[in-house]
Structures are given as structure tokens and as C-alpha cells.
Amino acid sequence: MKTSINILILLMIFINSVNAQQDKDKIFEKLKKQYAELQTISLNFTLNENTFIKGQLNAKKGNKYILSFGNKIIYCNNKTIWNYSPTNNSVIISNYDDNNESISIEKIFFQFTEDFKAEKLYKNQISNNESSTILELIPKNSNQSDISKIKISINTNNLNISNVVIVSNYNEESWKISNLKLNTNIDDNRFDFKVPENVEIIDLR
């Protein structure tokens, strides 16, 4: 009788493991369909669950983005980066170099469906009445990525992303996401920063 029970337990564990494998692959395929053709993304975020670090991101595929948080606004048009501080009334201008971007907005939001594969799927219990489904991704080629894993919290009904945790060789960064909008029309000229008058310019190009 004891042997039969042990076999039954092992069989249940195996079935649950197979179902979890199928579920993670199924959900990742759905994510690919929704996000593989992503051209623009807009969102609000809270960084590392710190209510004092809030910001907004507007980005377009091709390394173009406007990232604002704290007293900084960063513009990038794929050629030039403007790091503007209204508080200090100054802007630092530098050339954009994709080779120096080991963890970039482009790689996280526009390339994750190509560069990563599904590793795990599990639920995170937030409270007694609330839980989130987390899809854990790992890079297809670990030798070419500083990111060891990405954990994406998703709504399995509409595939909206509510949180992204990026685990790299250096640290762990969490983005709590709200007001997510996909493929809205954003003109390229929005990513060109027009320096206001009387602002100190520090040009590093």
C-alpha cells in the first residue's frame, strides 16, 4: 500500500511539472504574439518599490526614448543623449553608443521576446485575495547578456504587464508598471531635445 501511495505522489508531481511546462510555454507564445511587433510603449513606473522614485517612460523601437524620474529627464534619439536637470538648469549631451548599453530599454521592452526563453511559471501571493502570475525568462545565450533573468508579472487574461524584475550580474532592479499603453503614435521628433534658453550645456561629444 505504501509503495502504491509513493508511486501516486510521484505521478502527480510529474503531471504537475508537465502542466507547468506547457503553461509557461503557452503563455510565452501569447506574449510573443502581443509584444513581438511592439513599436512604441508608454508607461508610468515606480522603481524598486520606492515611492520616492517614480517616473514615466515613452519609448519607440530603435533606441528612442524619453525617461523622466526625480529631477532628471533623459532624451535619446538613437544618436544623441540629452541628460537634462531642470533643478540644476543644466544638460549633459553625449553620443549614444549601443555597445555600452548592457541593460537598455530596447533590450528589456523591445527585444525580450527574441533574446529570452521561458524558464518558469509560478504564482506570487500578494495578499489573501490577490496573486500575480510570474513568468521567469532567461537569456538564450548567457555568454552575450549581463542579464541573468527577467521576472514578468502578468495578467493572464489580457497579458498586461504589471511588474518587471531585472536580475543582472550586478544588481536586481524592479519596475512596478501602471498606465501601460502599447503602439500609440509617437513622432520621432519628440525624442529630439530642444535645449531651453539660459540652460548650461555640458557637451561631451
**Residue 19 pLDDT:** 38
**Residue 58 pLDDT:** 96
**Residue 18 pLDDT:** 36
Gap between the Cα atoms of 181 and 179, Å rounded: 6
**Residue 10 pLDDT:** 37
**Residue 160 pLDDT:** 82
Question: Per residue of the chain (205 residues), what is the pLDDT tens digit?
Answer: 444 444 443 333 333 433 344 488 888 888 888 887 889 999 999 988 666 788 999 999 999 999 998 889 999 999 999 999 999 999 999 999 876 655 688 888 888 888 888 888 887 655 555 567 889 998 888 765 678 889 998 887 777 888 999 888 778 888 899 999 999 999 999 999 999 999 999 999 9
**Residue 36 pLDDT:** 79
Domains of the chain: 24-203 (2.50.20.10)
Question: Cell numbers at residue 24, please?
Answer: 509557461
Enumerate the H helices of 53-205 as residue ranges: 105, 112-115
Classify each residue of 138-149 as buried b or exposed e, where b means 16 or more C-beta atoms within 10 Å of its C-beta: bbeeeeebebeb
- Which position has the grid cell 504537475? 16
